[in-house]
Amino acid sequence: MAEERKKPIAIITIGMAGAGKSTFVQRINSYLHSQDPPKTPYILNLDPAVTHVPFEANIDIRDTVNYSEVMKQYNLGPNGGILTSLNLFTTKFDQVLELVDKRVDTVDYVILDTPGQIEIFTWSASGAIITDAVASSLSTVVAYIIDTPRTSAPATFMSNMLYACSILYKTKLPFILVFNKTDVQSHQFALDWMHDFEEFQAALAEHGGTRDAEGEPTYMNSLMHSMSLVLDEFYKHLTAVGVSSMSGDGIKEFFDAVEASRETYETDYLPELARARATREKKLQDAKDESMNKLLRDLTMDRAKNPGGALSDRWDPNAEEDDDDDNDDEDIIDRTEEAWPGQYIDVTRAQRHPEERINWPRPG
């Protein structure tokens, strides 16, 4: 019997402009199609400004929002235009999730390509909403694409790693560092630096002046030294693979890492998600309790101040029970469907059923 089909894994590709995100998505797309039996990806393009997408997207943000129109209409520059387009698209993201949901039994991977400007996705509300929405419905992994040849200077390498680090801590999702363009330069130097702190320090010393004219360590150097100590901890939490989106090298290793991420998602992310939800619900409950206590305190104070009023403020045990009123929850009034307070209703003519005859007493 065929083994039970697993739910798809969502891969969110993030990376600096030009790191090769779209080329990478195209490469993994063709890799999946070439498997035997072929694996089916479901691809989302979230870059509204791209003119040519090298893969066929199942859902394309450009079908929903017109980036250049948005720029014109809201008087925005290119980045504001991308951000606003993404915001507009996010308002409909529930529909995207529904569409994805319909495919969970036939699709193996859901792949998201994000806009070129990394901060638009990673530091915007819509990026966070999209990431959280995907991650709470599917096992999800972040593929952080790095332009390897452009990251070979120690200072650039570190700032790129710090950026990755900030995304890891923000999303708390399983994370794969994808050193792309290994056809141009091998990513071995990066692995060495990540595994051996001393080696990175040596590279730093060699690369820039570590001492200023007076022979003191430069500001930059001591900053980088302490930063690299932070990163040492960070490296323990992730997997690094080298790939070439041009030649296809390393793509299999990437998918091995993706499959392994399923476990991290279940052991680390899901409990974290449950914790975050519980905290949110507790906060809400606390706020409700607090306002209830406040109300009760106010009532007690009122009664103390006005004992006469308090005496008459009691239920009359002899009063007839009103059957309609034993429901504690007040119905919320929907103005579009029901009469609302302030709308004139001639209650003297209102009947609960056609036979009902009520003689309303005339005033006076």
Residues that bind Mg ion (CB under 5 A): 21-22
Angle between helices 219-235 and 154-171 in degrees, nearest 10: 50
180 lies in the binding site for ligand GTP (CB under 6 A):
yes
Q: What is the DSSP string of 144-178?
A: EEEEGGGG-SHHHHHHHHHHHHHHHHHH---EEEE
**DSSP label at residue 190:** H
Contacts of 19 (CB under 8 A, 6+ apart): 145, 146, 147, 180
Site string for ligand GTP, 9-38 (x = CB under 6 A): ------x-xxxxxxx---------------
Amino acid identity of residue 359, one-letter, is: N
Give min distance, CB of 248 to Mg ion, in A. Answer: 18
> What are 15's strand-pairing partners?
145
Give min distance, CB of 83 to ligand GTP, in A. Answer: 15
160 lies in the binding site for ligand GTP (CB under 6 A):
no
Give min distance, CB of 183 to ligand GTP, in A. Answer: 5
Give min distance, CB of 85 to ligand GTP, in A. Answer: 14
**Which of the residues 112 through 141 are near ligand GTP (CB under 6 A)?**
116
By beta-carbon distance, which residue lies closest to Mg ion?
A: 22
Looking at beta carbons only, is 22 or 160 nearer to Mg ion?
A: 22
Site string for ligand GTP, 195-234 (x = CB under 6 A): ----------------------------------------
- State the alpha helices, DSSP H only, in 35-124: 67-73, 78-90, 93-102, 118-122
Distance of CA 65 to CAs 48, 93, 319, Å? 7, 13, 62
Alpha-carbon distance 61 to 79, whole Å?
16
Other C-beta atoms lying within 10 Å of the C-beta of residue 157: 24
**Which of the residues 63 through 82 are near ligand GTP (CB under 6 A)?**
none
Going by C-alpha positions, the residue among 118, 130, 131 that lies closest to residue 90 is 130
Give min distance, CB of 44 to ligand GTP, in A. Answer: 14
187 lies in the binding site for ligand GTP (CB under 6 A):
no
Exposure of 59 in the CB half-sphere (CA atoms within 13 A): 21
245 lies in the binding site for ligand GTP (CB under 6 A):
yes
Piece in contact with ligand GTP (CB under 6 A), picked from 28-36, 181-189, 232-240, 301-309: 181-189
183 lies in the binding site for ligand GTP (CB under 6 A):
yes
Looking at beta carbons only, is 47 or 70 nearer to ligand GTP?
A: 47
| C-alpha triplet 109, 114, 115: angle, nearest 5° | 165
Give min distance, CB of 28 to ligand GTP, in A. Answer: 12
Piece in contact with ligand GTP (CB under 6 A), picked from 71-79, 151-159, 240-248, 317-325: 240-248
246 lies in the binding site for ligand GTP (CB under 6 A):
yes
Site string for ligand GTP, 285-324 (x = CB under 6 A): ----------------------------------------
Phi, psi of 176 (to 5 degrees): -120, 125
Looking at beta carbons only, is 21 or 187 nearer to Mg ion?
A: 21
Looking at beta carbons only, is 22 or 182 nearer to Mg ion?
A: 22
Q: What is the 3-state secondary structure (H, E, C) of 204-231?
A: HHHHCCCECCCCCECHHHHHHHHHHHHH
Angle between helices 197-207 and 188-195 in degrees, nearest 10: 120
181 lies in the binding site for ligand GTP (CB under 6 A):
yes
Looking at beta carbons only, is 21 or 181 nearer to Mg ion?
A: 21
**Structural tokens at position 99:** 């569409």
Binding site for ligand GTP (CB under 6 A): 15, 17-23, 47, 116, 180-181, 183-184, 244-246
